[in-house]
């Protein structure tokens, strides 16, 4: 059965998808063309944390009003999240091009923030939280051909081991009182989803302190499916006399990066390590928005029934680098699409998660994937 080209804009609205599909599957046997007509006007799936990428924070003194320097600092944080380039937080040319940063915001508020420290103290701050207009920020970066990292980001499983000065070696859960809040804070600042293991019996059967300290990332790859993670980070913290040293291993697919950090305290060292992680990922995933859309042929097999069909469409329409999805043909369990892309990097993005499995590339560059349901 062939289907005429139908366009699904990623800005279309699709509501109550689950209820509609449930009704359709129980009440009638629905042909694919009918399902296409029903789905027009319903919204694609969105990434819940997408807006967080356009929200920045800045520390302000108690009683101080929101002013230009605070808005500029919050904007700098957003620019770093979106590009992975820390220098852009204070780049004079880019800030000048942005104009008054408060003109780019769509809302702001103040909040009190308390961050536990390892010495049982807490860092207390008053922060300005600013939500910026995504289109304005995207245009600012696109006009200057600055690579932007979209909302599709790997979930990162981070294993930690601590050796204290007295020689004790323990999993990171022993330091969870300060470690978890710091991971959450630096992850927010860099737009990363960081996952800490439970360190329960199952985890301990998958990993050992020796694996982490030795940087044997291949031994811990089997722990990724349990947490639905895409990337792996191993960190070995050691308390020295004086200061601390940490050894880091980052693994994404078959790609690895290793580095060693030193600092007087573990908190700033953790923040620096996660920033290096974000830099590493941004180099892989950040792309420049194209002036004119490109077209990419994509075939997805393993599509059996309306629910599978709807999920593939939801997924493709929700990708930030996809402007439109055209269905060219449906035959047996295969769907053939033509995608309009606003930037490169589709294969890297499709490689995240486990919905689609890469099958190959044909002679003219068409991509083939299989639905993993």
Residues 276 and 206 placed together within one structural domain of the fold: yes
pLDDT in tens, 311-359: 999 999 999 999 999 999 999 999 999 999 999 999 999 998 889 999 9
What does the alpha-carbon distance between residue 293 and residue 370 come to, in Å, rounded to a whole number? Answer: 25
What is the pLDDT, as a whole number, of residue 51?
A: 64
Q: How many domains does the chain have?
A: 3
Region 197-213 average pLDDT: 94
What does the alpha-carbon distance between residue 129 and residue 74 come to, in Å, rounded to a whole number? Answer: 7
Residues 200 and 230 placed together within one structural domain of the fold: yes
CATH number at residue 225: 3.30.160.100
Residues 72 and 166 placed together within one structural domain of the fold: no
Residue 278 located in a structural domain: yes
- Residue 43 clears pLDDT 60, i.e. is over it: no
Residue 277: both structure tokens together: 């992680």
pLDDT in tens, 52-75: 999 999 999 998 899 999 999 999
Q: Which residue has the higher pLDDT, 15 or 166?
A: 166
What does the alpha-carbon distance between residue 146 and residue 176 come to, in Å, rounded to a whole number? Answer: 37
Domain range for 329: 7-43+290-371
Which of 262, 285, 308 lies at the terminal end of a domain, its last residue? 285
Residues 64 and 115 placed together within one structural domain of the fold: yes
What is the pLDDT, as a whole number, of residue 17?
A: 43
Residue 1 located in a structural domain: no
- Residue 35 clears pLDDT 90, i.e. is over it: no
- Residue 206 clears pLDDT 70, i.e. is over it: yes
Residues 18 and 58 placed together within one structural domain of the fold: no
Residue 152 · residue 352 · CB < 8 Å: yes
Residue 2 located in a structural domain: no
What does the alpha-carbon distance between residue 101 and residue 251 come to, in Å, rounded to a whole number? Answer: 37
What is the pLDDT, as a whole number, of residue 63?
A: 87
Residues across the chain: 373
Question: Smallest Cα–Cα separation from 56: which of 189, 180, 209?
Answer: 189
Helix, strand, or coil here: 359?
strand
- Residue 34 clears pLDDT 90, i.e. is over it: no
Question: Smallest Cα–Cα separation from 274: which of 318, 335, 231, 228?
Answer: 231
- Residue 291 clears pLDDT 90, i.e. is over it: no
Average predicted confidence (pLDDT) for the chain: 86
- Residue 46 clears pLDDT 50, i.e. is over it: no
- Which residue is associated with the tokens 């050796």? 163
Residue 185 located in a structural domain: yes
What is the pLDDT, as a whole number, of residue 49?
A: 54
What does the alpha-carbon distance between residue 92 and residue 69 come to, in Å, rounded to a whole number? Answer: 13
- Residue 3 clears pLDDT 60, i.e. is over it: no
What is the pLDDT, as a whole number, of residue 50?
A: 62
Residue 148 located in a structural domain: no
What does the alpha-carbon distance between residue 213 and residue 231 come to, in Å, rounded to a whole number? Answer: 18
Name beta bridge partners: 231: 156, 252
- Which residue is associated with the tokens 């022993």? 174
Strands 155-163 and 193-195: parallel
- Residue 156 clears pLDDT 70, i.e. is over it: yes
Residue 306: both structure tokens together: 């309306």
What does the alpha-carbon distance between residue 87 and residue 85 come to, in Å, rounded to a whole number? Answer: 6
Residues 277 and 359 placed together within one structural domain of the fold: no
What is the pLDDT, as a whole number, of residue 69?
A: 94
What is the pLDDT, as a whole number, of residue 294?
A: 94
What does the alpha-carbon distance between residue 27 and residue 206 come to, in Å, rounded to a whole number? Answer: 46
- In the chain, beta strands by DSSP E: 7-9, 55-60, 105-116, 122-132, 155-163, 169-171, 193-195, 231-239, 244-252, 255-263, 294-301, 322-331, 334-341, 356-361, 367-371
What is the pLDDT, as a whole number, of residue 41?
A: 34
Residues 204 and 240 placed together within one structural domain of the fold: yes
Residues 100 and 168 placed together within one structural domain of the fold: no
Residues 269 and 170 placed together within one structural domain of the fold: yes
Which of 143, 174, 207 lies at the terminal end of a domain, its last residue? 143
- Residue 205 clears pLDDT 60, i.e. is over it: yes
- Residue 27 clears pLDDT 60, i.e. is over it: no
Residues 193 and 271 placed together within one structural domain of the fold: yes
């Amino acid at each position: 059965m062939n289907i005429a080209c139908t366009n699904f804009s990623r800005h279309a609205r699709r509501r109550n998808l689950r209820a509609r599909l449930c009704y359709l599957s129980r009440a009638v046997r629905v042909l694919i063309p009918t399902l296409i007509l029903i789905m027009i006007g319903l919204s694609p799936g969105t990434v819940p944390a997408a807006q967080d990428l356009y929200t920045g924070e800045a520390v302000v003194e108690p009683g101080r009003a929101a002013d230009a320097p605070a808005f500029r600092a919050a904007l700098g944080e957003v620019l770093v999240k979106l590009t992975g380039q820390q220098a852009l937080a204070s780049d004079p040319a880019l800030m000048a091009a942005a104009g008054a940063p408060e003109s780019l915001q769509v809302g702001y508020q103040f909040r009190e923030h308390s961050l536990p420290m390892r010495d049982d103290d807490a860092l207390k701050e008053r922060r300005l939280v600013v939500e910026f207009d995504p289109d304005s920020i995207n245009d600012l970066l696109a006009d200057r051909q600055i690579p932007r990292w979209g909302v599709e980001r790997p979930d990162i499983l981070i294993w930690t081991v601590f050796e204290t000065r007295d020689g004790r070696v323990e999993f990171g859960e022993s330091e969870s009182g300060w470690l978890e809040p710091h991971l959450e804070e630096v992850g927010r600042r860099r737009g990363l989803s960081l996952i800490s293991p439970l360190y329960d019996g199952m985890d301990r059967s998958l990993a050992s302190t020796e694996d982490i300290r030795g940087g044997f990332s291949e031994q811990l790859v089997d722990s990724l499916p349990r947490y639905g993670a895409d990337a792996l980070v191993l960190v070995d913290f050691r308390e020295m006399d004086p200061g601390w040293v940490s050894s880091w291993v980052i693994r994404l697919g078959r790609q690895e990066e290793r580095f060693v950090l030193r600092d007087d305290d573990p908190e700033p060292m953790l923040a620096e390590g996660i920033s290096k992680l974000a830099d590493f990922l941004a180099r892989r995933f950040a792309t420049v928005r194209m002036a004119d859309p490109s077209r990419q042929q994509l075939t997805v097999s393993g599509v059996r029934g309306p629910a599978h069909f709807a999920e593939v469409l939801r997924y493709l329409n929700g990708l930030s680098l996809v402007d439109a999805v055209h269905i060219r043909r449906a035959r047996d369990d295969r769907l053939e699409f033509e995608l309009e892309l606003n930037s490169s990097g589709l294969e890297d993005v499709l490689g995240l998660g486990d919905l689609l499995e890469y099958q190959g590339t044909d002679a003219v560059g068409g991509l083939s994937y299989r639905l993993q349901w």
